[in-house]
Structure 1
Amino acid sequence: MTFADVKNVQTVILKYRALSADDKLTVLAQLYGEVAAEIAPTISQSNVTDDAASNLVKQIQQMASEQQVDALRGLVEGKQSDGETVLDEHPTKALGELFTGGEKSTSFSTKEYDSLSTDSRLFFWFQIAQNLGKSVVGIPDDHMPNERVSEVLDLIGTPEVEDLVSLLKKAL
Protein backbone atom coordinates (compact mmCIF):
# COMPACT_ATOMS: atom_id res chain seq x y z
CA MET A 1 0.00 0.00 0.00
CA THR A 2 1.37 3.42 -0.89
CA PHE A 3 0.84 6.69 0.87
CA ALA A 4 -1.60 7.72 -1.86
CA ASP A 5 -3.70 4.71 -0.89
CA VAL A 6 -4.32 6.14 2.55
CA LYS A 7 -7.81 7.35 1.73
CA ASN A 8 -7.20 10.91 2.73
CA VAL A 9 -4.14 11.85 4.76
CA GLN A 10 -5.74 15.08 5.86
CA THR A 11 -8.81 13.19 7.08
CA VAL A 12 -6.60 10.84 9.09
CA ILE A 13 -4.74 13.76 10.67
CA LEU A 14 -7.96 15.64 11.47
CA LYS A 15 -9.60 12.57 12.98
CA TYR A 16 -6.45 11.77 14.97
CA ARG A 17 -6.24 15.31 16.34
CA ALA A 18 -9.93 15.18 17.33
CA LEU A 19 -9.30 12.13 19.54
CA SER A 20 -8.98 12.37 23.31
CA ALA A 21 -5.47 12.20 24.75
CA ASP A 22 -5.95 8.57 25.79
CA ASP A 23 -7.23 7.65 22.33
CA LYS A 24 -4.23 9.37 20.70
CA LEU A 25 -1.90 7.40 22.95
CA THR A 26 -3.72 4.20 21.98
CA VAL A 27 -3.32 4.97 18.26
CA LEU A 28 0.39 5.72 18.68
CA ALA A 29 0.95 2.58 20.75
CA GLN A 30 -0.91 0.42 18.21
CA LEU A 31 0.97 1.88 15.23
CA TYR A 32 4.39 1.70 16.83
CA GLY A 33 3.64 -1.76 18.22
CA GLU A 34 2.69 -3.12 14.81
CA VAL A 35 5.67 -1.73 12.93
CA ALA A 36 8.43 -1.47 15.55
CA ALA A 37 10.71 -3.96 13.80
CA GLU A 38 10.25 -2.33 10.40
CA ILE A 39 10.44 1.26 11.58
CA ALA A 40 13.64 0.86 13.64
CA PRO A 41 15.96 0.81 10.59
CA THR A 42 14.20 3.84 9.11
CA ILE A 43 14.66 5.80 12.31
CA SER A 44 18.29 4.73 12.70
CA GLN A 45 19.00 5.62 9.05
CA SER A 46 17.81 9.15 9.72
CA ASN A 47 20.70 9.39 12.21
CA VAL A 48 18.40 10.69 14.91
CA THR A 49 19.94 9.75 18.20
CA ASP A 50 18.83 12.95 19.79
CA ASP A 51 20.10 13.45 23.32
CA ALA A 52 17.22 15.81 24.09
CA ALA A 53 14.66 13.17 23.07
CA SER A 54 16.50 10.50 25.05
CA ASN A 55 16.64 12.77 28.09
CA LEU A 56 12.89 13.35 27.88
CA VAL A 57 12.32 9.60 27.74
CA LYS A 58 14.50 9.21 30.85
CA GLN A 59 12.45 11.88 32.62
CA ILE A 60 9.25 9.99 31.79
CA GLN A 61 10.78 6.70 32.94
CA GLN A 62 11.63 8.19 36.35
CA MET A 63 8.01 9.12 37.03
CA ALA A 64 5.39 7.04 38.78
CA SER A 65 2.96 5.29 36.41
CA GLU A 66 0.14 7.81 36.89
CA GLN A 67 2.53 10.69 36.30
CA GLN A 68 3.87 9.05 33.15
CA VAL A 69 0.35 8.83 31.77
CA ASP A 70 -0.36 12.46 32.68
CA ALA A 71 2.89 13.65 31.07
CA LEU A 72 2.25 11.68 27.86
CA ARG A 73 -1.34 12.95 27.75
CA GLY A 74 -0.02 16.48 28.05
CA LEU A 75 2.38 15.93 25.17
CA VAL A 76 -0.20 14.54 22.74
CA GLU A 77 -2.62 17.30 23.72
CA GLY A 78 0.01 20.01 23.32
CA LYS A 79 -0.52 21.25 26.87
CA GLN A 80 2.19 23.53 28.18
CA SER A 81 3.98 22.85 31.44
CA ASP A 82 6.91 24.81 32.73
CA GLY A 83 8.67 22.05 34.57
CA GLU A 84 6.37 22.24 37.53
CA THR A 85 6.72 19.57 40.14
CA VAL A 86 4.33 16.69 39.71
CA LEU A 87 3.29 15.16 43.01
CA ASP A 88 1.37 12.03 43.92
CA GLU A 89 -2.37 12.51 43.39
CA HIS A 90 -3.13 11.44 46.96
CA PRO A 91 -2.96 14.54 49.22
CA THR A 92 -1.28 12.83 52.17
CA LYS A 93 1.40 11.31 49.95
CA ALA A 94 1.88 14.60 48.10
CA LEU A 95 2.36 16.45 51.38
CA GLY A 96 5.00 13.92 52.39
CA GLU A 97 6.74 14.37 49.05
CA LEU A 98 6.86 18.12 49.56
CA PHE A 99 8.54 17.73 52.94
CA THR A 100 11.02 15.03 51.91
CA GLY A 101 11.69 16.11 48.36
CA GLY A 102 9.81 12.97 47.40
CA GLU A 103 11.13 10.19 45.28
CA LYS A 104 8.02 10.29 43.14
CA SER A 105 7.83 14.05 42.66
CA THR A 106 9.12 14.83 39.21
CA SER A 107 9.65 17.97 37.23
CA PHE A 108 8.68 17.79 33.57
CA SER A 109 8.71 20.58 31.02
CA THR A 110 6.92 20.33 27.70
CA LYS A 111 9.10 23.16 26.38
CA GLU A 112 11.86 20.62 25.77
CA TYR A 113 9.48 18.45 23.74
CA ASP A 114 8.14 21.47 21.87
CA SER A 115 11.69 22.40 20.83
CA LEU A 116 12.36 18.96 19.30
CA SER A 117 12.51 18.61 15.53
CA THR A 118 9.92 16.40 13.87
CA ASP A 119 12.49 13.61 13.48
CA SER A 120 13.41 13.91 17.16
CA ARG A 121 9.74 13.68 18.15
CA LEU A 122 9.41 10.55 16.04
CA PHE A 123 12.48 9.15 17.82
CA PHE A 124 11.03 10.13 21.24
CA TRP A 125 7.75 8.27 20.59
CA PHE A 126 9.64 5.30 19.16
CA GLN A 127 11.66 5.07 22.39
CA ILE A 128 8.49 5.42 24.47
CA ALA A 129 6.82 2.65 22.45
CA GLN A 130 9.85 0.37 22.85
CA ASN A 131 9.59 0.75 26.62
CA LEU A 132 5.81 0.31 26.98
CA GLY A 133 5.08 -2.19 29.71
CA LYS A 134 8.70 -2.04 30.89
CA SER A 135 10.04 1.28 32.16
CA VAL A 136 7.04 3.16 30.74
CA VAL A 137 3.52 2.25 31.78
CA GLY A 138 1.90 0.03 29.17
CA ILE A 139 -1.61 -0.20 27.84
CA PRO A 140 -3.64 -2.62 29.98
CA ASP A 141 -4.02 -6.06 28.40
CA ASP A 142 -7.80 -5.85 28.59
CA HIS A 143 -7.97 -2.44 26.89
CA MET A 144 -10.19 -2.43 23.83
CA PRO A 145 -9.82 0.51 21.42
CA ASN A 146 -13.05 2.42 20.98
CA GLU A 147 -14.81 3.08 17.69
CA ARG A 148 -13.00 6.39 17.01
CA VAL A 149 -9.58 4.76 17.49
CA SER A 150 -10.57 1.86 15.24
CA GLU A 151 -11.78 4.33 12.61
CA VAL A 152 -8.44 6.14 12.54
CA LEU A 153 -6.50 2.87 12.42
CA ASP A 154 -8.76 1.58 9.62
CA LEU A 155 -8.22 4.78 7.62
CA ILE A 156 -4.47 4.35 7.98
CA GLY A 157 -4.62 0.71 6.97
CA THR A 158 -1.22 -0.90 6.41
CA PRO A 159 0.95 1.62 4.59
CA GLU A 160 4.61 1.09 3.74
CA VAL A 161 6.99 2.01 6.54
CA GLU A 162 8.16 5.21 4.83
CA ASP A 163 4.55 6.27 4.36
CA LEU A 164 3.74 5.56 7.99
CA VAL A 165 6.77 7.59 9.10
CA SER A 166 5.52 10.51 6.97
CA LEU A 167 2.06 10.20 8.48
CA LEU A 168 3.42 10.07 12.03
CA LYS A 169 5.55 13.16 11.38
CA LYS A 170 2.42 15.05 10.33
CA ALA A 171 0.50 13.82 13.37
CA LEU A 172 3.23 14.64 15.88
Structure 2
Amino acid sequence: MDLDFYKKQALQKQKDHKKFLDGLKKKPPKDLDYIVRETHEEVFEEIDCLQCANCCKTTGPLYTEKDIERIARHLRMKPADFEAKFLRVDEDNDKVLQNLPCFFLQSDNTCSIYEVRPKACREYPHTDRKKIYQINNLMLKNTVICPAAFEFVERMMKNATK
Protein backbone atom coordinates (compact mmCIF):
# COMPACT_ATOMS: atom_id res chain seq x y z
CA MET A 1 0.00 0.00 0.00
CA ASP A 2 1.49 3.32 -1.09
CA LEU A 3 0.91 5.58 1.92
CA ASP A 4 2.71 8.52 0.33
CA PHE A 5 0.34 8.38 -2.63
CA TYR A 6 -2.73 8.37 -0.38
CA LYS A 7 -1.36 11.17 1.78
CA LYS A 8 -0.58 13.38 -1.25
CA GLN A 9 -4.02 12.68 -2.73
CA ALA A 10 -5.73 13.46 0.58
CA LEU A 11 -3.83 16.73 0.98
CA GLN A 12 -4.58 17.76 -2.62
CA LYS A 13 -8.27 17.01 -2.16
CA GLN A 14 -8.74 18.52 1.31
CA LYS A 15 -10.74 21.49 -0.02
CA ASP A 16 -13.03 19.25 -2.09
CA HIS A 17 -13.48 16.83 0.78
CA LYS A 18 -14.22 19.65 3.23
CA LYS A 19 -16.76 21.18 0.87
CA PHE A 20 -18.47 17.82 0.38
CA LEU A 21 -18.54 16.98 4.11
CA ASP A 22 -19.80 20.47 4.99
CA GLY A 23 -22.55 19.97 2.39
CA LEU A 24 -23.60 16.75 4.14
CA LYS A 25 -23.95 18.73 7.35
CA LYS A 26 -26.07 21.45 5.73
CA LYS A 27 -28.31 19.12 3.75
CA PRO A 28 -27.82 15.43 4.52
CA PRO A 29 -29.52 12.95 2.17
CA LYS A 30 -32.51 11.20 3.79
CA ASP A 31 -30.74 7.84 3.63
CA LEU A 32 -27.29 9.10 4.71
CA ASP A 33 -26.72 6.49 7.44
CA TYR A 34 -27.51 3.72 4.94
CA ILE A 35 -25.14 5.21 2.32
CA VAL A 36 -22.42 5.51 4.98
CA ARG A 37 -22.81 1.87 6.04
CA GLU A 38 -22.81 0.61 2.44
CA THR A 39 -19.78 2.73 1.53
CA HIS A 40 -17.91 1.62 4.68
CA GLU A 41 -18.52 -2.05 3.83
CA GLU A 42 -17.49 -1.51 0.20
CA VAL A 43 -14.20 0.14 1.22
CA PHE A 44 -13.29 -2.49 3.80
CA GLU A 45 -13.94 -5.32 1.34
CA GLU A 46 -10.96 -3.93 -0.59
CA ILE A 47 -8.69 -2.44 2.08
CA ASP A 48 -6.98 -4.63 4.66
CA CYS A 49 -5.81 -2.65 7.69
CA LEU A 50 -3.10 -5.24 8.34
CA GLN A 51 -1.40 -4.14 5.11
CA CYS A 52 -1.06 -0.62 6.51
CA ALA A 53 -1.39 0.01 10.28
CA ASN A 54 -0.45 3.64 9.66
CA CYS A 55 -2.84 4.74 12.41
CA CYS A 56 -0.93 2.59 14.94
CA LYS A 57 2.39 3.92 13.68
CA THR A 58 1.57 7.63 13.56
CA THR A 59 -1.34 8.49 15.86
CA GLY A 60 -2.03 7.59 19.43
CA PRO A 61 -5.56 6.89 20.62
CA LEU A 62 -7.13 8.53 23.60
CA TYR A 63 -7.36 6.11 26.54
CA THR A 64 -10.49 6.31 28.69
CA GLU A 65 -10.54 5.15 32.32
CA LYS A 66 -12.51 2.08 31.19
CA ASP A 67 -9.85 1.34 28.54
CA ILE A 68 -7.08 1.64 31.13
CA GLU A 69 -8.83 -0.66 33.61
CA ARG A 70 -9.67 -3.27 30.95
CA ILE A 71 -6.21 -3.33 29.38
CA ALA A 72 -4.39 -3.26 32.72
CA ARG A 73 -6.51 -6.22 33.93
CA HIS A 74 -5.70 -8.07 30.69
CA LEU A 75 -1.97 -7.41 31.19
CA ARG A 76 -2.26 -8.32 34.90
CA MET A 77 -1.11 -4.85 35.94
CA LYS A 78 -2.49 -2.21 38.25
CA PRO A 79 -4.10 0.63 36.27
CA ALA A 80 -1.63 3.13 37.80
CA ASP A 81 1.32 0.96 36.72
CA PHE A 82 -0.12 0.67 33.19
CA GLU A 83 -0.47 4.45 33.01
CA ALA A 84 3.05 5.04 34.32
CA LYS A 85 4.57 2.59 31.85
CA PHE A 86 2.63 3.47 28.66
CA LEU A 87 0.69 6.72 28.93
CA ARG A 88 1.14 10.45 29.31
CA VAL A 89 -1.26 13.38 29.61
CA ASP A 90 -1.31 15.55 26.47
CA GLU A 91 -2.03 19.26 25.98
CA ASP A 92 -5.79 18.57 25.92
CA ASN A 93 -5.50 16.75 29.25
CA ASP A 94 -6.19 13.40 27.54
CA LYS A 95 -4.36 10.20 28.37
CA VAL A 96 -2.41 9.07 25.29
CA LEU A 97 0.57 6.85 24.48
CA GLN A 98 3.99 8.05 25.58
CA ASN A 99 5.57 6.90 22.32
CA LEU A 100 4.72 5.97 18.75
CA PRO A 101 4.47 3.61 17.03
CA CYS A 102 2.07 1.97 19.46
CA PHE A 103 3.82 -0.34 21.90
CA PHE A 104 1.19 -3.03 21.20
CA LEU A 105 1.72 -3.02 17.42
CA GLN A 106 3.53 -6.19 16.39
CA SER A 107 5.86 -6.66 13.41
CA ASP A 108 3.08 -8.24 11.31
CA ASN A 109 0.84 -5.19 11.95
CA THR A 110 -1.39 -7.08 14.35
CA CYS A 111 -2.22 -5.78 17.82
CA SER A 112 -1.09 -7.71 20.89
CA ILE A 113 -4.11 -6.43 22.86
CA TYR A 114 -6.64 -6.50 20.00
CA GLU A 115 -9.47 -8.08 22.04
CA VAL A 116 -9.18 -5.38 24.73
CA ARG A 117 -7.91 -2.47 22.61
CA PRO A 118 -9.05 1.09 23.39
CA LYS A 119 -12.47 2.27 22.24
CA ALA A 120 -10.76 4.82 19.97
CA CYS A 121 -8.95 1.99 18.15
CA ARG A 122 -12.12 -0.08 17.81
CA GLU A 123 -13.96 2.84 16.21
CA TYR A 124 -11.16 4.11 13.94
CA PRO A 125 -11.41 5.45 11.22
CA HIS A 126 -15.03 6.25 12.19
CA THR A 127 -16.38 5.50 8.70
CA ASP A 128 -19.32 3.48 9.98
CA ARG A 129 -20.99 5.86 12.36
CA LYS A 130 -24.40 7.44 12.19
CA LYS A 131 -24.67 11.18 11.51
CA ILE A 132 -21.17 11.15 9.97
CA TYR A 133 -21.30 14.93 9.45
CA GLN A 134 -20.83 15.39 13.20
CA ILE A 135 -17.15 14.44 12.83
CA ASN A 136 -16.21 16.34 9.64
CA ASN A 137 -12.95 17.76 11.02
CA LEU A 138 -11.87 14.39 12.37
CA MET A 139 -12.74 12.70 9.06
CA LEU A 140 -10.62 15.23 7.14
CA LYS A 141 -7.65 14.52 9.43
CA ASN A 142 -8.17 10.78 9.05
CA THR A 143 -8.07 10.93 5.23
CA VAL A 144 -4.42 12.02 5.46
CA ILE A 145 -3.52 9.14 7.81
CA CYS A 146 -5.78 6.31 6.66
CA PRO A 147 -6.17 5.09 3.06
CA ALA A 148 -9.57 3.61 3.99
CA ALA A 149 -10.82 6.97 5.27
CA PHE A 150 -9.59 8.63 2.06
CA GLU A 151 -11.33 6.01 -0.10
CA PHE A 152 -14.45 6.31 2.03
CA VAL A 153 -14.77 10.07 1.45
CA GLU A 154 -13.98 9.68 -2.25
CA ARG A 155 -16.71 7.05 -2.63
CA MET A 156 -19.15 8.97 -0.47
CA MET A 157 -18.79 11.88 -2.89
CA LYS A 158 -20.12 9.54 -5.61
CA ASN A 159 -22.56 7.49 -3.54
CA ALA A 160 -24.25 10.37 -1.73
CA THR A 161 -24.96 12.30 -4.92
CA LYS A 162 -26.54 9.47 -6.94
TM-score by length of 1: 0.30
TM-score, normalised on structure 2? Answer: 0.32
